[in-house]
Structure 1
Amino acid sequence: MVAMAKRVKTFQITFADSGKSFYCGGERLCGRIEVEVSEVTRVSAMKVLALGCAKVEYAKGKQRCRQEAEYLRHEELLQLTEHPTLHKRGCCQSLTPDSDGSVVLRPGNKYEYKFGIDLPQQGQLVSSYKGKFGYVHYYVKALMERPQQPTLECKKCFEVEEPLDVNTPDLLSPAGGTKEKKVTIMFIPDGQVSLNAKIDRRGFCEGEDICINAKFENTCSRIVVPKAAIIAKHIYQANGRTKVFRQKLSAVRGNHIISGMCDAWQGKTIRVPKIKPSILGCNIIRVEYALMIYVHIPGSEKLILELPLVIGTAGLGSRSSSVSSQEGSFSNASQSWVSLRMSSQPPSYCDITKDCRLDQPLTPLLDDVDCDDSPIFMTSSAFQFPSPPAYSEVGVSDRSPRLLC
């Protein structure tokens, strides 16, 4: 079998637009299958398949949960394409199929099978995804069938990113809420902590700033700290069971609030890092985001308020200008509490390290991660007085003024 495979020197798939990083629904995926042989080889058929599926697999106790969903399937029988090098060498006769439809490939020539695949319309595909317990991937597979020989195959993956417009009225509407928590010491009431927070909209794109308006009140005897974070929730469904995996992406914090005092955030900002858009259209995998505003209470559970977010794709009309205008206002240091380092390429969902797995919908909050990039108490450099002007002493013998000539 190894000797038979050595007869084929080159067998690979090349996309026509090699510089394209991803495809959207409704687009046409074009490419070619390149073949070069080291011995005379008869090919009975060349098939191309385009497949896209989502798969979830994880262990729940002793049970193995697994489920799949298909979003793309295309199969086509290809004909050998005339190539200029064949005409130059007088090998056009090799392009003529035999009575059974097979074609003889000869060494020293490069052969091509061109294909074009129309992807389903927008809304019928799901964006590519790779997570801890599942994935959504797309690929093109070529099958070379040969008489009385094993079928050879090669595969090449491609990315899909479905547009997600955040300019809808629902995502442009504000979101907010109120939470309070009674604090006790050895079952003795010790006051309460409350928060009231609001954001002006729910839909954002990467690089935009989320402006938070919030009010915190502390009537307990402890010193509390208000914080905010953007979290991602990866939801996997298989065999009627649900598994949730949470990740903290970025965080900011406010000033300490002592007993009997209040604090307010007026337009406090947290920037959306380089992350992939929300995945909302898959039956077994969902990726949701939320802005979590919470208060750290020493010796007690945190007071948590989660506001849902939808992260859309960039470059959607007015959102581009919105991003540029907000980046200009980000230079205001009084509203910028954290500076997120942005990488040149968006990370994979599984590349983010600050995470915590939650198997139930309402489990305790993941471990706190304080933002150390900007300290709570800012110190300014000492003021430097200007040096005194140069002078010279003039001797005076009495108190009467002296005229200098």
Structure 2
Amino acid sequence: MLATIKNISVTYDGMGKTFSSGDFISGRITLELGKDCKIDYLSIKAKGKSEVRWTEHHKHSTITYHSKDKMFSIEQFIIREQKGQDCNVVAPGTHVYPFTFQIPQQAMPSSFKGAWGKILYTLEAKLSRPMRISSKARAEFPFVSKADLGSIPELMIPQHGTKDKKMKLFTSGKVGMDIHMERMGYYLGEDLKVVASIENSSSREIKPKYTLYQKDSFFARGKRRVSTKDILKELGEPIPPSGKLKVTKVLKIPQHIVPSILTCSNIKCEYRLKIVLDVPYARDPEIKLPLVILPATQTPGLQPPPYSDFGFDSFGNANQPGWNSTPQFPGAYPPMAPGAYPPMAPGAYPPMAPGAYPPTAPGANPPTAPGANPPMAPGAYPPMAPGAYPPMAPGAYPPMAPGALAPPPAYGTYPSLSDFGGKS
């Protein structure tokens, strides 16, 4: 027997790209019918939600911990039954229904899948028929939260930790370390610079170890579950006995990890940098410093925005990527020094179309035809007597009645062309 609904599917434009708050997402529902189909309604819903679930087994019972949180939900009806009318009838064949949503402009966590929870953003089509089970189709789309350093000033605070430990038993003496990081917040793919002052007053060689690890927390029914995993590990140079050294270690934050999740009610994703001094035959002293990993910039080829754009003064190493730089957008001209124009021969102004300067009121700067002259710094032309002609190439004054022009300005009245990028 020929099935009424042969297939229903949802696709969206830009498969593989990520979306953020305020973005538009467009797609289509494809409905393939084998015969006439009566429809109550056909709808498409965009939504974001988080869900946590785990099970604990006790002696005489099993408890399931479960929680949900909804970020947003928007529904559009493609086909809908009208009052006083029978069900809509759709003919056999393949039907395509386009749709467009705008993701709400609000703070939402990035897509995430962990040990006991997930954060998903989906498009879900639903076909409702009389006296039938509804048919559904779903497509997930990746969502990345927008970086907002301006709302969290703590991200710019330098991080510092110190640790001293006296050795016992098989190792004598003392070891200590003083760790500094320039700030707490970093972008995906950015370099993380760690400055460590290490003192080894022990009898053995020690090695610093650097570990960036992820800590995921899941919350349900007043309980919490935690899972951790190492993201990267690196080993520093050994410090000899009775040695003291200040070392700088640069770690590359991976691009593939999930940005920090701090705004979800039942899931948190946090990062820590752990520095351990590997001391033979002794308990290793360690320091843990918190990190907040922000999404990389959304525009290909752009560095993260300079921190001053978010209301912070620059500090630390001004040569870091994204510091003291101006974001460029497609079609943007590179910034120029104020008043810097292409070099021109001394006294040479670009030619103008005849009549480009119509008569103007005394003292007014005459309007020019579009593109007739390049922009000039305010005051580039000295004040002129009422009715005076605009400056022209030296000696190129048209025949005029005696006294029609004001006396030529004294030497030095016009600014040097070196002020405009030319040679004086």
Tell me if TM exceeds 0.5. yes
2:304 is aligned with what amino acid? R
Amino-acid identity (%): 27
**Contact 1:205–1:313 under 8 Å retained in 2:** yes
1:52 is aligned with what amino acid? G
How far is the alpha carbon of 1:98 from its aligned partner?
Answer: 9.7
How far is the alpha carbon of 1:176 from its aligned partner?
Answer: 0.9
- Equivalent of residue 25 in structure 2, options 5, 22, 29: 29
Q: Distance in 2 between matches of 1:225 and 1:253?
A: 7
**Contact 1:45–1:101 under 8 Å retained in 2:** no
- Equivalent of residue 276 in structure 2, options 294, 303, 309: 294
How far is the alpha carbon of 1:278 from its aligned partner?
Answer: 0.9
**Contact 2:189–2:296 under 8 Å retained in 1:** no
Q: Distance in 2 between matches of 1:18 and 1:216?
A: 50
- Distance change in 2, residues 1:78/1:239 (3 Å): same
Does residue 270 of the first structure (1) align with residue 254 of the second (2)? no
Deviates more, 1:31-40 or 1:17-26: 17-26
Partner of 2:218: 236
1:78 is aligned with what amino acid? I
1:54 is aligned with what amino acid? S
Find the residue that maps to 1:23 and give its secondary structure: coil
Residue deviations 1:144-181, cap 9 Å, x none?
11223222111111121111234664323321111112
How far is the alpha carbon of 1:326 from its aligned partner?
Answer: 5.1
Trace 1:63-78 onto structure 2 (pairs within 5 A): 63-78=63-78
2:30 is aligned with what amino acid? E
Q: Distance in 1 between matches of 2:271 and 2:182?
A: 16
**Contact 1:47–1:76 under 8 Å retained in 2:** yes
- Equivalent of residue 177 in structure 2, options 157, 176, 195: 195
Find the residue that maps to 1:215 and give its secondary structure: strand
How far is the alpha carbon of 1:239 from its aligned partner?
Answer: 2.0
Q: Distance in 2 between matches of 1:237 and 1:201?
A: 29
- Equivalent of residue 209 in structure 2, options 227, 241, 250: 227
- Equivalent of residue 51 in structure 1, options 47, 50, 54: 47
* Structure 1 portions without partners, runs of 5+: 81-95, 329-405
Does residue 14 of the first structure (1) align with residue 14 of the second (2)? no
How far is the alpha carbon of 1:58 from its aligned partner?
Answer: 2.3
Does residue 303 of the first structure (1) align with residue 303 of the second (2)? no
**Contact 2:46–2:75 under 8 Å retained in 1:** yes
How far is the alpha carbon of 1:279 from its aligned partner?
Answer: 0.8
Does residue 120 of the first structure (1) align with residue 104 of the second (2)? yes
Does residue 247 of the first structure (1) align with residue 229 of the second (2)? yes
**Contact 1:235–1:287 under 8 Å retained in 2:** yes
Residue deviations 1:72-102, cap 9 Å, x none?
223333238xxxxxxxxxxxxxxx9895352
2:6 is aligned with what amino acid? K
Partner of 2:351: none
How far is the alpha carbon of 1:47 from its aligned partner?
Answer: 2.4
- Distance change in 2, residues 1:130/1:232 (3 Å): same
Trace 1:155-194 onto structure 2 (pairs within 5 A): 155-166=138-149, 169-185=153-169, 190-194=172-176
Q: Distance in 1 between matches of 2:131 and 2:56?
A: 45
Find the residue that maps to 2:10 and give its secondary structure: strand
**Contact 1:208–1:326 under 8 Å retained in 2:** no
2:89 is aligned with what amino acid? V
Residue deviations 1:108-165, cap 9 Å, x none?
4x32333333322221x22110111110012122221122322211111112111123
Trace 1:124-143 onto structure 2 (pairs within 5 A): 125-143=108-126
Find the residue that maps to 1:319 and give its secondary structure: coil
- Equivalent of residue 103 in structure 1, options 76, 79, 88: 88
Trace 1:333-352 onto structure 2 (pairs within 5 A): none
Partner of 1:363: none
Q: Which has the higher contact order (CA 8 A, sep 6+)?
A: 1
Count the aligned residue pairs: 304
Find the residue that maps to 1:159 and give its secondary structure: coil
Does residue 206 of the first structure (1) align with residue 202 of the second (2)? no
Q: Which has the higher helix share?
A: 1
Q: Distance in 1 between matches of 2:286 and 2:86?
A: 68
Q: Distance in 2 between matches of 1:65 and 1:183?
A: 45
- TM-score, normalization: structure 1? 0.67
How far is the alpha carbon of 1:255 from its aligned partner?
Answer: 2.4
1:197 is aligned with what amino acid? I
1:218 is aligned with what amino acid? N
Does residue 319 of the first structure (1) align with residue 304 of the second (2)? yes
**Contact 2:55–2:65 under 8 Å retained in 1:** yes
Query: Of the two, which has the highest radius of gyration?
Result: 2
- Equivalent of residue 129 in structure 2, options 134, 146, 167: 146
**Contact 2:34–2:92 under 8 Å retained in 1:** yes
Q: Distance in 1 between matches of 2:167 and 2:295?
A: 42
Residue deviations 1:184-233, cap 9 Å, x none?
218xx933221101011222112221111111112233332112121111
- Distance change in 2, residues 1:11/1:166 (3 Å): same
How far is the alpha carbon of 1:64 from its aligned partner?
Answer: 3.0
- Distance change in 2, residues 1:101/1:46 (3 Å): farther
Q: Distance in 1 between matches of 2:76 and 2:121?
A: 16
* Structure 2 portions without partners, runs of 5+: 308-318, 323-424
